[in-house]
């Protein structure tokens, strides 16, 4: 009797199709989809006023199954682990954070020249960091794409 493993992932509604394609690359078969919409409403008091605050979340829960007796099962599991282990370079750098914005404002208020120098320095530094991040992100995507292609050749 074939043994199946099950995996459930939560993604944004706009990422569901991309996740379906990705999981199929590693031998997973789509089992079910559930759209989750939660709304939480409550009252908050701020000073003398009371406000109605509504918070909501919206995501899709996808469930997949994979037969452990499929061809190349162990290789697919290894490739999936490699894919998940590829280090994400994180968010792109920001030009001005709060700290540098305050320092620049103080510099401009106290001495215009140091404020301008800080702004120029941050633009130069941002350009360098942005290029470095872009190359790291390209390497990240290329490595993951390579792993997906290997998995697709095994599931084809």
Higher per-residue confidence, 135 vs 112: 135
Considering the domain architecture, whether residues 5 and 38 belong to the same structural domain is answered as: yes
pLDDT of 10 above 90: yes
pLDDT tens digit sequence for 37-75: 888 888 888 888 888 888 888 999 999 999 999 999 999
81 assigned to some structural domain: no
Between the alpha carbon of residue 37 and those of residues 12, 47, 59, the distances in Å are 11, 31, 7
**Residue 79: burial class (beta carbons within 10 Å; 0-12, 13-18, 19+):** buried
For the chain, what is the radius of gyration of the CA atoms?
24
Mean pLDDT of the chain: 88
pLDDT score recorded for residue 1: 59
Environment class of 103 (CB within 10 Å of its CB; exposed 0-12, middle 13-18, buried 19+): middle
Bigger pLDDT: 138 or 96?
138
pTM check: above 0.85:
no
Question: At 5, which helix (H) or strand (E)?
Answer: strand 4-11
**Position 107 confidence tier, pLDDT thresholds 50, 70, 90:** confident
Q: Which of 40, 70, 100 is the last residue of a domain?
A: 70
d(CA 51, CA 134) in angstroms, rounded, equals 43
The reply to whether 27 falls in a domain is: yes
84, part of any domain: no
On whether residue 77 sits in a domain, the answer given is: no
Please indicate, yes or no, whether residues 62 and 97 belong to a single structural domain of this protein: no
Q: Which of 156, 3, 7 is nearest to 80 (CA)?
A: 7
Average of pLDDT values for 140-146? 93
Per DSSP bridges, beta strands 49-67 and 29-46 are: antiparallel
Say whether both 107 and 50 belong to one domain.
no
135 in any annotated domain: yes
Total tally of structural domains belonging to the chain? 2
- Classify residue 114: in a domain, yes or no: yes
Indicate if 115 and 147 belong to the same structural domain: yes
Residue span of the structural domain in which 127 resides: 89-156
């Amino acid at each position: 009797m074939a043994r199946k493993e099950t995996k459930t992932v939560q993604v944004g509604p706009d990422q569901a199709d991309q996740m379906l394609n990705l999981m199929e690359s590693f031998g997973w078969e789509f089992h079910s989809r559930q759209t989750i919409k939660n709304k939480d409403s409550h009252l908050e008091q701020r000073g003398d006023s009371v406000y109605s605050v509504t918070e909501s979340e919206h995501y899709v829960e996808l469930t997949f199954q994979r037969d452990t007796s499929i061809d190349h099962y162990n290789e697919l599991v290894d490739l999936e682990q490699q894919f998940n282990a590829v280090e994400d370079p994180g968010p792109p750098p920001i030009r001005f954070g709060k700290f540098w914005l305050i320092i620049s404002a103080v510099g401009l208020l106290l001495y215009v020249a140091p404020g301008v120098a800080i702004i120029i320095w941050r633009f130069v530094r941002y350009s360098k960091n942005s290029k470095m991040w872009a190359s790291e992100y390209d390497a990240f995507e290329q490595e993951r794409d390579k792993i997906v292609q290997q998995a697709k050749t095994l599931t084809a």
